[in-house]
Amino acid sequence: MTTFAISTLGCKVNAYESQGYAQGLRDLGFQEVFFKEAADIYIINTCAVTNTAAAKSRQKLHQAQKLNDKALIAVVGCYAQSEFQALSKDPRIHVLIGSNQKEELPKLILSAWENKSHIHKLSDMRSASVFEAIPVRSFTHQTRAYLKIQDGCNQFCSYCIIPFARGKERSLHPDQVIAQARALVANGHLEIVLTGIHTGRYGREYSTTLTELLKRMCDEVKGLQRIRISSIEINEITDEFIQLMKQETKIARHLHIPIQSGNNDILKLMNRPYTISDYEKRINEIRKQITGISISTDVITGFPDESEAQFEDGCDCLKRLQFSFLHVFPFSKRDGTKAALMKNQLNNQIKKQRSARLNALSEKLYQRYQEGFVKQQVAVLWEEEVNGMISGHTSEYLKVYAPYEASSLHQLEVRRISAYENDMLLCEQEVIG
């Protein structure tokens, strides 16, 4: 049987799309193997958000050729879109697809495989208006499922290549979201993570909102026990959204809300649509309404012209806001963005030093947040066996552990956290309720 392997870089949207490619190829009769194994076909689902992601995309191309120099190699996604002309000259790449017509990828691979041909397709993402659903029935290697409901971005932050790589905002029709969610639950997924490039702006072309979609999912998808939102912008968290989160226990008590910088001058250079005062006021309102909620964030450090004083100001802001954890990114200069043309680009040593300080701060914040849950009851979706224990995530996205019980695997249970030891939250064996 002809085998294929997929390497996925970047965001949860890519993870969702990769599952769609795998499902499509299995439906055509191919067999999936791990990327580190020899395969007949390799798919590299690329990312272009940072230089590191772009470099990893190139490394995966080299790895695939090394594993089997006779294999068919397909490259797809944001890096393929942004560097299409250069990649189209690489003879190792048989199938090259940018950020559109992805739903055709399995059939294009089949055609290239059978005809021993090269297929390259590039679309102008500035005119892309149709949402490519790439329906996924199940996720084979994980308990929770992703569901892509939105694509594209109209915001054009000065550092970001994604609006150019993925195009304008567009959404999956609400009825299709409900249908896909039902299919995922029918295949055993109790938790669904709603993903998108700009998830909070879901549904505008259908005169609906993310809040309305969440209401429908809670009411209409029987058996669904938890809905998680991958990321949402602070200015898209409405009062109605907060009230629904407060009332509906199916919606996870965790919001990932990118701040990107804790300094107003840098936020302005980034073209972010809020001030620190706006951001902090909204965070305080959320916490007032939803006790114990986990709020995490993205931070970019080493942005052009970021002084030491501005960096320190940003650190003070992050400490004050008491995030549960940080995702830290050193600024990455991306050709085609406004930030790439800015003066006073900082050197890599400064970026590394500041990133290290922020990562250390994140560890402290996360430890403090975890310790606050000792003796508390939590709802846990148990996901896997780890060294004789069972592990899973709470509604607040805390990773917890308990003595292994096969009957608990892939189940949602209420347990009490007994201790925080060796950087681990431990749950009692007894199920509550």
Q: What confidence tens digit (pLDDT) does each residue in 226-253 have?
A: 999 999 999 999 999 999 999 999 999 9
Residues 266 and 157 in one domain: no
Answer yes or no: are the C-beta atoms of 179 and 149 closer than 8 Å: no
CA dist 142 and 318 (Å) reads: 32
Residues 234 and 266 in one domain: no
**C-beta atoms surrounding 173 within 10 Å:** 15
> pLDDT over 70 for what percent of the chain?
100
Among the candidates 232, 252, 272, a domain finishes at 252
CA dist 203 and 149 (Å) reads: 9
417 within domain boundaries? yes
pLDDT at 279 > cutoff 90: yes
Alpha-helix runs per DSSP H in 68-150: 78-82, 84-87, 105-115
Average confidence (pLDDT) over 105-120: 96
CA dist 256 and 261 (Å) reads: 15
433 within domain boundaries? no
Residue 128 — very low, low, confident or very high, per pLDDT cuts 50/70/90? confident
Dihedral, 113, 119, 120, 123 alpha carbons, nearest 10: -100
**Max CA-CA distance within the chain?**
62
The domain that holds 220 is classified in CATH as 3.30.750.210
pLDDT at 15: 94
91 within domain boundaries? yes
**What's at 217, amino acid-wise?**
M
Residue 141 C-beta-side C-alpha neighbours within 13 Å: 10
Domain count, the chain: 4
193 within domain boundaries? yes
**C-beta atoms surrounding 360 within 10 Å:** 11
**What is the dihedral sign for C-alpha 103, 334, 118, 129?**
positive
Residues 332 and 381 in one domain: no
Answer yes or no: are the C-beta atoms of 147 and 180 closer than 8 Å: yes
Q: What confidence tens digit (pLDDT) does each residue in 163-216 have?
A: 999 999 999 999 999 999 999 999 999 999 999 999 999 999 999 999 999 999
pLDDT at 289 > cutoff 80: yes
| Closest by CA position to 224, among listed 246, 195, 249, 243 | 249
Residues 173 and 58 in one domain: no
Collapsing DSSP states into helix, strand and coil, what is residue 4?
strand
What are φ and ψ of residue 419, in 5° steps? -165, 160
Domain around 350: 255-371
Answer yes or no: are the C-beta atoms of 41 and 4 closer than 8 Å: yes
Among the candidates 123, 144, 165, a domain finishes at 123
Residues 12 and 114 in one domain: yes
CA dist 395 and 415 (Å) reads: 12
Residues 96 and 169 in one domain: no
Residues 201 and 155 in one domain: yes
Residues 290 and 208 in one domain: no
155 Cβ contact partners less than 8 Å away, ≥ 6 residues apart: 163, 198, 271, 273
Gyration radius from the chain CA atoms:
22
Describe the strand order of the beta sheet including 95-97 as a list of residue ranges.
Answer: 31-32, 3-8, 41-46, 72-77, 95-97, 119-121
CA dist 171 and 207 (Å) reads: 11
Q: What confidence tens digit (pLDDT) does each residue in 349-361 have?
A: 999 999 999 999 9
Among the candidates 231, 252, 273, a domain finishes at 252
The domain that holds 37 is classified in CATH as 3.40.50.12160
The domain that holds 284 is classified in CATH as 3.30.750.200
Residues 137 and 238 in one domain: yes
Residues 138 and 63 in one domain: no
181 within domain boundaries? yes
Answer yes or no: are the C-beta atoms of 109 and 5 closer than 8 Å: no
Residues 139 and 178 in one domain: yes
Q: Are strands 254-256 and 294-301 parallel, antiparallel or unpaired?
A: parallel
CA dist 244 and 250 (Å) reads: 10
Residues 44 and 113 in one domain: yes
Give 397-419 as a DSSP string.
--EEEEE--GGGTT-EEEEEEEE
Q: What confidence tens digit (pLDDT) does each residue in 31-74 have?
A: 999 999 999 999 999 999 998 998 999 999 999 999 999 999 99
Share the mean pLDDT of the chain: 96
228 within domain boundaries? yes
432 within domain boundaries? no
pLDDT at 142: 83
213 within domain boundaries? yes
Output the six-digit token pair for 252: 């996870």
Average confidence (pLDDT) over 342-346: 96
